[in-house]
Chain A
Amino acid sequence: MRVGVVTFPGSLDDVDAVRAVRLAGHEAQPLWHGDADLRGVDAVVLPGGFSYGDYLRAGAISRFAPVMTEVVAAAGRGMPVLGICNGFQILTESHLLPGALIRNHHRKFICRDQALVIENTATAWTSGYRTGEEVTVVLKNGEGAFAADEQTLDRLEGEGRVVARYVGNPNGSMRDIAGVTNERGNVVGLMPHPEHAVEEGYGPGVAGLGFFTSLLETVAS
């Protein structure tokens, strides 16, 4: 598959995401925030970082980048979209995913290995995992606490749209939520970084690779 990785001004993890995409067997296509053009890709990754310096709110300015108009339209047509960390923040600001990410309750930036439980394996990005599988990837954020009203949280849980939960809540995320999906299962937002856990010797193992290899199974099925 051809997987686009968007670079915004202030993106940090776009190169790691490109590397993860390639290691998973895909062709990586860099995309530029200022171009309203997805260059014929089959899926899009919005990487981590501090796009537009997190000015106003994390993800709030990126949402209006020309490329996002195309991403939102393609997501509506069913294209797989994965937002990691700042990418997740952009997806919530774009209203592609519910809720918001707010400052960690302890006010500290976290950077560490983090265990997650994959709860929904029906999404385009998690079909390669087993339900209930525990994976350890990297967590690094200052504004990573998932927040939504009780009704939204109940709906997400009731519809099985919690993709992953933290093992031990690191940042005050409501109901330990680390990642969620849209109704269709093609858009996934994830606060931790699977792209930093795709190679032995770099990071906490290779458990993150499944997010990128899942795409193949999604298309094959």
Chain B
Amino acid sequence: MARVVVDVMPKPEILDPQGKAVLGALPRLGFSGVADVRQGKRFELTVDGEITDEVLAEVDKMAETLLSNPVIEDYSVRVEVDA
């Protein structure tokens, strides 16, 4: 069964305080070498039936209207197949 995954990330020019908090916590736990952290959201949509171009176009519309806010976030849509 296939899933459609939508990744939503804050736009590069938008400050990401949550990512900054994670970045600040890493060295305190002894992790080094991380230059930056950006925190986003991942949505997994299990779709009825086959994933066609029409379904992907519909998911794209969902991502643009609800899952992301295009003013502050970018999104990407991809199909994921379970092993």
Please give the residue numbers on chain A whose beta carbons come within 8 Å of chain B beta carbons, in ascending order.
56-57, 60, 64, 92-93, 98-100, 102-107, 145, 147-149, 172
Contact = CB atoms under 8 A, between A and B. Distances in A.
Contact of A103 (B17, B66, B67, B71): B17
Interface residues of B, number: 13
A107 B18 CA distance: 8
Nearest to A93: B69
A139 B15 CA distance: 21
Contact of A107 (B14, B17, B69): B17
A92 B15 CA distance: 18
Given A98-B71, A107-B18, 20 more contacts: A56-B66, A56-B67, A57-B69, A60-B69, A99-B71, A100-B69, A102-B15, A102-B17, A103-B17, A104-B17, A105-B15, A105-B17, A107-B17, A107-B20, A147-B14, A147-B15, A147-B72, A149-B13, A149-B71, A172-B15
B47 interface: no
Interface centre among B10, B67, B71, B72 (most CB of A within 10 A): B71
Interface in B19-61: 20-21
Contacts of B10: 102
A107 B20 CA distance: 9
9 contacts: A57-B69, A64-B66, A92-B71, A98-B71, A100-B69, A102-B72, A105-B15, A107-B20, A147-B72
